[in-house]
Amino acid sequence: MDGYSISTNFTDMDIAVIHGYISNSYWAKGMPMNVLEKAISNSLCFGVFTDAGQQVGFARLITDSATFAYLADVFILEPHRGKGLSKRLMESVIAHPELQGLRRITLSTKDAHGLYKKFGFRPLANPATFMEVWEPDVYQNA
């Protein structure tokens, strides 16, 4: 990962860069800045940075650090893709001390199944046991 590093330090996160990507993503289109700030402040976050300190990637885990985590908001900015950064980011996530011994880590993805499969993620073993409240347009109604 020459030229890049990963940090979980909250103060390193560039909220403007993160918001710029997330609020235009298929999974959180239109997310207001204040909602993102609240989400980040209540999560375990991983940032990918150039040696110059520019944030180019991100991942967020919503977790109790004991039994469960939900992986969300994973991205690498387009100009930095193809360099193995998403794999290194996921290696850091999976190896993080607060995420060891969890019973379940879940995620939702439309297009990155191949990446997550390399880290042990599989389709739900028993999808009939999962339920959800789904509000896909919540940010457009804010």
pLDDT at 50 over 80: yes
Average pLDDT, the chain: 95
Residue 140 confidence (pLDDT): 82
Backbone φ and ψ of 60, nearest 5°: -135, 135
Q: State the CATH number of the domain containing residue 47.
A: 3.40.630.30
Indicate the number of domains in the chain: 1
In a domain, 11, yes or no: yes
Nearest Cα to Cα of residue 76 among 65, 96, 64, 92:
92
Residue 15 confidence (pLDDT): 97
Q: What is the mean pLDDT of residues 131-135?
A: 91
Residue 31 confidence (pLDDT): 96
Range of the domain at 77: 4-129
In a domain, 32, yes or no: yes
